Copies of this chain bind each other. A is one copy, B any other.
C-alpha cells in the first residue's frame, strides 16, 4: 500500500504532532526511537518533508523537528503525496503503465471505488486528529513489546 518511507513519515509526523502540544521541538533520535525506525533513514525522510514545508526544523543546540500552528491543517494525503507521489491514485491495480478510463484493465471497475474511498479517507484525515487519539492512549505507534521490524 504505502512504501516503507511513507509509513515512517506518517508515524513520525503523528508523533511529532503529539509533542507539539507542549510546543517543543523533537530530536531525530527521540523520534526514531519512538516510532521504531532507523535514525538516519528517518532524518532523510523528515528533511524531505521540511523542504516541502509540511513541517519545520531547527538546527543547533536545542534543535529538532516540529509541527507548529502553520502545520495544523496538514492531512494524510499531503504526506503520502510528498513521499510516494500519486501512484496510488493513478497507478493501475494490475500494473499496466497507466490507469485509464479509456483502456481499462479487467480490474479497473472494481478497483475504482476502493481507490475513491481510500482517497477520501486520506483527504479528510488530519495529522492532528490522529495525534490526539495517540495522546489519549487510544492508539499506538509501537507494538507493546517494542518490536516493530
Contact = CB atoms under 8 A, between A and B. Distances in A.
11 contacts: A2-B93, A7-B93, A7-B95, A11-B95, A14-B106, A96-B143, A105-B139, A106-B133, A107-B125, A107-B130, A114-B118
A95 B144 contact: no
A80 B8 CA distance: 26
Interface in A111-125: 111, 113-114, 117-118, 121, 125
Interface in A93-112: 93-98, 103-108, 110-111
A69 to B, nearest CB: 21
Stoichiometry, copies per complex: 2
Given A14-B106, A106-B133, A106-B134, A95 B4 contact: yes
Contacts of A58: none
* Best-buried of A1, A98, A103, A143 by chain B (most CB within 10 Å): A1
A51 interface: no
A142 interface: yes
A117 B106 contact: no
A104 B7 CA distance: 15
B14 A93 contact: no
Nearest to A8: B95
A92 to B, nearest CB: 9
